[in-house]
């Protein structure tokens, strides 16, 4: 999946925003909390997103998916290859990441955004 396609998927979610952070990462956020990060370095783009603890254990067993550096303790995975997941599954995983982060926002902020 290309960066443009990932961007299109993530920005469809309610109140999702994007910004360049850490010099060369495209970060997607909801309520100021990130739910997906696309590395934009000179090589191939990489993608990291949040998942449940159970899915984290299953996903890192798949070829091309590793624990996300610095974020693995919070159950984030990184796709070492953009084709590690089929586009439909990746879209679903990004939505789940968004939902997990949204659910973790303070109640007052969730009500404001809803």
Over residues 17-57, the pLDDT tens digits come to 999 998 889 999 999 999 999 988 766 678 999 999 999 99
What per-residue confidence (pLDDT) applies to 41? 79
- What is the CATH number for 72? 3.90.1150.30
Cα–Cα dist 39/36, whole Å: 10
Residue 41 φ then ψ, to 5°: -65, 170
Q: Is the pLDDT of residue 114 over 90?
A: no
Question: Do residues 27 and 39 lie in contact, with contact meaning Cβ atoms separated by under 8 Å?
Answer: no
Residue 38 domain boundaries: 3-113
Is the predicted pLDDT of residue 81 greater than 80, yes or no?
Answer: no
Residue among 108, 95, 90, 106 nearest 16 (CA): 95
pLDDT at 76: 97
Q: How many domains does one find in the chain?
A: 1
**What is the predicted pLDDT for the residue at 23?**
84
Specify which residues 38 forms β-bridges with: 26, 47
Q: Strand (E) positions, the chain?
A: 16-21, 25-30, 33-39, 46-50, 65-67, 76-79
Instruction: Read off the pTM.
Output: 0.91
């Amino acid at each position: 999946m290309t960066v443009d396609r990932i961007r299109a998927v993530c920005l469809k979610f309610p109140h999702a925003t994007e910004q360049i952070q850490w010099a060369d990462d495209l970060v997607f956020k909801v309520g100021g909390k990130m739910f997906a990060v696309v590395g934009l370095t000179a090589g191939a783009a990489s993608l990291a997103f949040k998942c449940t603890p159970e899915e984290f254990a299953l996903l890192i067993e798949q070829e091309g998916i590793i624990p996300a550096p610095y974020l693995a303790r919070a159950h984030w995975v990184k796709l070492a290859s953009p084709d590690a997941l089929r586009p439909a599954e990746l879209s679903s995983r990004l939505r789940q990441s968004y939902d997990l982060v949204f659910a973790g926002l303070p109640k007052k902020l969730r009500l404001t955004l809803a």
